């Protein structure tokens, strides 16, 4: 069992290594390899279920979740986000003025590569950009207001498939590649890469937590997490994962976080937005 897993991982890593070394970055091939690896390893998990993280991996957890989700604990955040969307800034503008389609049903297009500024823009980054452009104070990246606005935006996008594009711009490919390298690089005193947990060990437990598969892993964010006793954003989840391996969490909006989210969301193209989520 363990052997088999190791071999499968070696194949994924092996397939990725030449791409890491050479200049011919091939995101399409990566996305195909990702899908193949996870669907072969978990043949019983319906494709669209990977976006439910730990629940897609564990029957017992799933039952608990279905019971809790009768009264979803993220509801208050969605309501608050909706309210915030309806409340004008001091200059009279609103969040809706900053986004395509007034910010409704667009979560699946984030992060995107902005050819003007030459960088990856995550949804959280875009929210703070909107605030700054309108003379407002940016939000803390990890919870509260940021979680509420992004929860509302995710909620209005539920079921829409990830549609992340890599424009024909060498800087976009480079950003994707940096994100991929960040994902596979070991770090922290415990020497883990993101892949150690979410590619090598999904479905296994570290202590009592069931690890989510990397395929579709950004679809449910932001999440209400019992362990946090509240909502957390993508930034908060990444920072927690970094801390768990006694690594250095990055500041909100950091380019590495935006790039790794770009990579993870691109290789999950086609999977539906499931956020906001509820987690143990």
Partner 1 sequence: MKLKKSHFALMVIAGAAAGVILGVNPVSAAASKGEELAFSRAKGNCLTCHEIKGGDAPGNVAPPLSDMKARFPDRKELIAIISDETKRNPQTVMPPFKRNLLLNDQEIEAIVDFLYTR
The footprint of ligand HEC (CB under 6 A) covers 53-54, 192, 194, 196-198, 206, 209, 211-212, 217-218, 220, 223, 237-238, 241-242, 244-245, 260, 277, 279
- How far is 164 from 142, CA to CA, in rounded Å? 23
Q: Which does 223 bind (CB under 5 to 8 A by kind): partner 1, ligand HEC, none?
A: ligand HEC
Shortest CB 211 distance to ligand HEC, Å: 4
Residue whose C-alpha is closest to residue 174's, from 35, 33, 37, 19:
19
Cα separation of 29 and 271, whole Å? 17
* Residue with smaller CB distance to partner 1, 87 or 208: 208
Answer with the entry of partner 1, ligand HEC, none that 212 interacts with (C-beta below 5 to 8 A by kind): ligand HEC
Task: Report the Cα–Cα distance between both ends of the chain, in Å, rounded.
Answer: 27
User: Where do the H-state alpha helices sit in 75-187?
Assistant: 75-86, 123-133, 144-155, 170-184
Q: Which two tokens stand for residue 143?
A: 């919870």
User: Which two structure tokens, joined as six digits, stand for 89?
Assistant: 């800034």
Q: Is the dihedral of CA 86, 108, 52, 9 positive or negative?
A: negative
Binding mask 132-171 for partner 1 (x = CB under 8 A): ----------------------------------------
Name every residue whose Cβ is closer than 8 Å to that of residue 2 and which is 6 or more positions away in sequence.
Answer: none
Contact (CB, 8 A) for 20 and 181: yes
Helical pair 2-21 and 27-41, crossing angle rounded to 10 deg = 180
- Stretch 188-227 residues interacting with partner 1 (CB under 8 A): 189-192, 196-197, 200-201, 204-209, 211
Q: How far apart are CA 23 and CA 230, in angstroms?
A: 43
- Interacting partner of 265 out of partner 1, ligand HEC, none (Cβ under 5 to 8 A depending on kind): none
Half-sphere exposure of residue 19, counting CA atoms within 13 Å on the CB side?
Answer: 21
Is 21 among the residues that bind partner 1 (CB under 8 A)?
Answer: no
Rounded to a whole number of angstroms, the minimum distance from the CB of residue 95 to partner 1 is 41
Identify what 239 binds: ligand HEC, partner 1, none; CB under 5 to 8 Å per kind: none
CA distance 213 to 170: 29
- Looking at beta carbons only, is 131 or 195 nearer to ligand HEC? 195
- Selection from ligand HEC, partner 1, none that 189 binds (CB < 5 to 8 A by kind) is partner 1
Instruction: Pick from 2, 21, 22, 67 the residue near partner 1 by CB under 8 A.
Output: 2
**Is 241 annotated as catalytic?**
yes
Nearer to partner 1 by C-beta: 21 or 23? 21
Binding residues (CB under 8 A) for partner 1: these are 2, 6, 9-10, 13, 189-192, 196-197, 200-201, 204-209, 211
Catalytic residue annotation: 241
């Amino acid at each position: 069992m363990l052997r088999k897993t190791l071999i499968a991982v070696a194949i994924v890593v092996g397939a990725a290594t030449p791409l890491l070394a050479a200049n011919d970055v091939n995101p399409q091939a990566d996305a195909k390899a990702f899908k193949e690896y996870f669907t072969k390893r978990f043949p019983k998990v319906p494709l669209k279920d990977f976006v439910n993280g730990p629940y897609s991996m564990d029957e017992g957890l799933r039952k608990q979740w279905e019971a809790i989700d009768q009264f979803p604990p993220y509801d208050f955040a969605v309501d608050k986000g909706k309210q915030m969307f309806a409340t004008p800034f001091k200059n009279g503008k609103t969040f809706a003025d900053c986004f395509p389609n007034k910010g409704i049903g667009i979560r699946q297009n984030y992060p995107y590569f902005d050819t003007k500024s030459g960088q990856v823009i995550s949804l959280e980054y875009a929210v703070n950009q909107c605030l700054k452009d309108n003379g407002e104070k940016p939000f803390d990246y990890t919870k509260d207001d940021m979680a509420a606005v992004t929860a509302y935006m995710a909620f209005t996008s539920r079921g829409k498939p990830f549609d992340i594009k890599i424009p024909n711009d060498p800087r976009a490919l480079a950003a994707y590649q940096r994100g991929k390298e960040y994902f596979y690089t070991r770090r922290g005193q415990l020497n883990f890469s993101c892949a150690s947990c979410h590619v090598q060990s999904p479905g296994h437990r570290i202590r009592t937590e069931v690890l989510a598969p990397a395929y579709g892993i950004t679809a449910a964010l932001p999440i209400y997490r019992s362990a946090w006793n509240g909502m957390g954003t993508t930034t908060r989840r990444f920072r927690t994962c970094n801390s768990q391996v006694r690594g250095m969490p990055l500041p909100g909006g950091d380019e590495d976080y935006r790039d790794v989210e770009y990579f993870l969301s691109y290789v999950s193209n086609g999977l539906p937005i499931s956020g906001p989520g509820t987690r143990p």
